[in-house]
Amino acid sequence: MRIVTTNRLITGILLCCTLLLGGCSWFGNSSTPSPSSHHSATPIVEGSHTIETGDIHNAELDLLLNIKTNGFNNDSSINDGLGGLYINWRYGTQPLQTNVNGTGETDDVSGQPLRHDALTDLRYLHNLWLYTVQNPGDKQFDSDRERFTKIVQMEFKNSHNERGWLYDEFMDLYNLSHDSFYQETAQSLAASYAKNFDPTVGSIYKTSANAQGSYRVDLTLESGCALVEAGTQFNHPDWIQDGISTINFIYSHAYIPQYHTFPSQMNNVLTSDHTVNPQEAFFNGRTKNYTVNGDQLQLGNISQMIVSLLDTYQVTQNQDFLQKATDLLDPLTNTNNSLGLWDPTNGGYFFSVKFQGDSPTNAGPLAVVTTRKEAGRQAIMLMAFHLANKFTNNKYQEMENLMRAVSLQHIYVPSVHGALYLVNADWSTQKFKNGTNNDMVTTEAMGALLESLFYLNR
């Protein structure tokens, strides 16, 4: 398999040298390398050189080895002593600096409570199974797969997680492992989405932040997709009906026809007399302990929505889901780029766009946040274009090629054997509040990147 990208010879030499050195550094002393030089702006240009399939495999292996060697947190308070993954770590430090927060200090030093994200455990296990199936003769990750099987099955037993994309994670884990736990968990998730469905409104929403109702657009759309898939796969016609209703509700109330996309969060599902509000507004306020800017579109969110729609099309063969997915994809191509999210200079996507208006019917002009990029999660766009290509006679092949190059040249950082969370627009590292480099590799970023790379062989 060959694709078009830049600087094959230099990239290949650097990658091979880095992997050789990295193979020794798992067991020996290593100084802390800086990823800044790798993250300097190297434009992604179509039409000059190629990346080999072997480069993708080497990157997958390098990422998994880093997580296996450095990522496990055996704190006895996590999962009743089973442990789980760190949020992040600074590769090469001794002792290893882990769970560094926005201040630039570790949670222990800054006095922050212990952080742990079960979603990263799930994605790691998913990636371990993807590696196992694609490399059946390689047994080096078997022990970690067994360890994280116990962890994930504890964390997600009878799960009611609101993230609809988890349905596809668990169903794929079932298809890879043939362990009925994952199929049962997927069904449990779908049942919880059906339980949260309000038939008087025709959708799923929450009242915790506003008594009149609000919802995250991505999670609600993905829950609707999960209901349609689960209803189709497990013969629940009522789930299909509820899922289609939820998706139609999202498109009726949150879709912005002017831009062919969605905002992050909507507000006032109901009017003051508790009837369905035909003119919802963007949600801007606080939920839990953080500020929400519902008038923004974040690339990481829209990419997951597209994948969910494509997965639903794959299960149902309903052309409407494919049309919806490609409608959201088209503004994100380099040739269309109507949202301005694609960076034509340095490649990849900027962090977000902000709508200047107050609602989908009054979205106003766009303001693109061009100062930073979310590195790891934008790799999901590689998966989105790859899946879309399978169903559209390779309509998005150029974008798949470009995102493959971005993933291997910028998102994956060989010098730290991982992927970062946030970077500057030119892929250089950002600074923490204390002035130190934010060169932490994160399990969320690496998990998303790995899944997308593995999906290229599916």
Specify if 358 maps to a domain.
no
The per-residue pLDDT of the chain, averaged, comes to: 90
Specify if 337 maps to a domain.
no
Of 35-39, 134-138, 280-284, give the lowest mean pLDDT range: 35-39
CATH of the domain at 418: 1.50.10.10
Q: DSSP assignment, residue 96?
A: P
Strands 352-355 and 418-419: unpaired
Specify if 21 maps to a domain.
yes
Specify if 291 maps to a domain.
no
Pairwise CA distance, residues 205 & 216, whole Å: 8
Specify if 105 maps to a domain.
yes
Contact 445, 377 (CB under 8 A): yes
| pLDDT tens string 319-345 | 999 999 999 999 999 999 999 999 999
Q: Binning pLDDT at 50, 70 and 90, where does residue 291 land?
A: confident
Query: What's the number of domains the chain is made of?
Result: 1
Specify if 268 maps to a domain.
no
Q: Is the model more confident about 22 or about 177?
A: 177
Give percent of the chain with pLDDT exceeding 70.
89
Specify if 288 maps to a domain.
no
Beta bridge partners of residue 266, listed in sequence order: 215, 282
Pairwise CA distance, residues 333 & 317, whole Å: 24
Pairwise CA distance, residues 139 & 393, whole Å: 36
Q: Binning pLDDT at 50, 70 and 90, where does residue 26 land?
A: very low
Averaged pLDDT for residues 121-147: 98
Closest CA to 22 of 447, 348, 429, 441: 441
Whole-model pTM: value is 0.89
Domain holding 386, by residue range, is 2-254+303-323+375-455
3-state secondary structure of 143: helix
User: Which strands, in side-by-side order, build the sheet including 366-369?
Assistant: 296-298, 352-355, 366-369
Specify if 275 maps to a domain.
no
